[in-house]
């Protein structure tokens, strides 16, 4: 019994060092992951021209007038940004900036950098959803899809994707 106790006591310091090292290493990775926003890219088929829309979930907005105007103005100042709308949820909650942009001129990383640079880093982008709306190749006005009254005979899906940022509101 003493031999087992002596052997365990020899391995105990090594075990403690490994345990401490294992507990501290992921924290650095978690801190890096916490600072970088989650970026989600999707594609949807839609009627009309091709376009890109990014929804940025922003933390730190206290009001719609001052904060929202400042963020919208900074995003509209980027080359390639076509429109910016602010969806203010309330102080202490994640608000959204919905940006329609030209993907050949600007990308979501540049938009994130502009927002986080405002007010000495007061605003933080927690997540970005980029949706690429691609034109429907079959919507050329073919006569098989329309009857004589102009009603579409092609079945359409009535499903709308939920806003993924509503989930983040409860997590942060």
pLDDT tens per residue across span 63-86: 888 888 999 999 999 999 999 999
| Token couple for 60 | 């730190």
Q: What distance in Å separates the CA atoms of residue 29 and residue 65, rounded to the nearest whole number?
A: 36
SS3 97: strand
Q: Which residues are registered as beta bridge partners of 37? A: none
pLDDT tens per residue across span 24-45: 444 444 444 556 788 888 888 8
What's the pTM?
0.60
């Amino acid at each position: 019994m003493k031999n087992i106790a002596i052997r365990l006591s020899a391995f105990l310091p090594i075990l403690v060092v490994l345990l401490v090292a294992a507990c501290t290493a992921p924290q650095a990775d978690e801190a890096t992951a916490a600072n970088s926003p989650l970026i989600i890219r999707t594609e949807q088929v839609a009627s009309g021209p091709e376009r890109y829309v990014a929804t940025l979930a922003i933390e730190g907005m206290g009001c719609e007038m001052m904060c929202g105007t400042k963020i919208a103005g900074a995003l509209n100042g980027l080359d390639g940004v076509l429109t910016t709308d602010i969806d203010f949820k309330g102080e202490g909650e994640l608000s959204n900036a919905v940006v329609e942009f030209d993907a050949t001129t600007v990308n979501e990383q540049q938009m994130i950098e502009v927002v986080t640079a405002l007010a000495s880093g007061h605003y933080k982008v927690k997540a970005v959803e980029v949706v690429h709306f691609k034109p429907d190749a079959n919507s050329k006005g073919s006569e098989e899809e329309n009857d004589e009254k102009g009603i579409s005979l092609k079945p359409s899906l009535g499903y709308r994707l939920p806003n993924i940022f509503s989930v983040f509101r409860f997590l942060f």
